[in-house]
Amino acid sequence: MKQIIIFFAIAALFAACGGNNTSDDGPKTPPKSMIADPVEDDGKGVGEIKEVKLNNPLVASMVEKGKSIYEMKCAACHKLTDQRVVGPGWAGLTEKRKPEWIMNMITNVEVMLAEDPTAQALLEECLVRMPNQNMSIGDARDVLEFMYSIDGKEVGE
C-alpha cells in the first residue's frame, strides 16, 4: 500500500513538472508593446538640430569663417567638387540633403552613423567613418553657409 502511494506521488510530481507537449515551430514574435515603432525618416538626421533658418542672401562673414573651418578640418577628406576622396565631395550637397541633416552630421557624427540610414549608406560607400571634429553648432552653421556658397547661392555684402 505504501508503495502504491509513493508511486502515485511520483506520478503526480512528473505530471505537474512534465514538459509542454506543444511543438515549437520557430521563434516567437514578441508582444507588440515590446517592439519599437519604426521612426519615419524626415531627412533631418538625428541630433539636436531640428530647424535651420537659411540666410538669403548668404552672410559673407559666415561664408568666410566656414571656408576657414573647411580648410582646417574638412579639406583633407572632402573636395569642393563632386569627386569623392575619403568622404564625398561637397558640390551639390545642399541640393541633396536638408540643412538640418548636414548640421547634425557635422555636430553629431557618431549617433548619425549609428542611427541615420542615409549616413549609414554613405559609410558603406566610403568605408571610412567621419571623425568627430568637435564642431560647435555655430561653427557647423558657418560651414553650412559656406556649402551653400559653393553651390552657387548668392552671398551678400
Domain positions in the chain are: 60-150
Per-residue pLDDT tens for 4-19? 677 666 766 566 655 5
Residue 57 and residue 148: Cα distance in Å, rounded?
A: 10
User: What is the three-class DSSP state of 104?
Assistant: helix
Per-residue pLDDT tens for 19-54? 555 555 656 666 655 655 555 789 999 999 999 999
Question: Which single residue is written with the C-alpha cell 568637435?
Answer: 134
- Per CATH, domain 60-150 is 1.10.760.10: yes
Amino acid at 26: G
**Structure pTM?**
0.74
Per-residue pLDDT tens for 138-154? 999 999 999 999 999 99
User: What is the three-class DSSP state of 5?
Assistant: helix
The pLDDT of residue 18 is 56
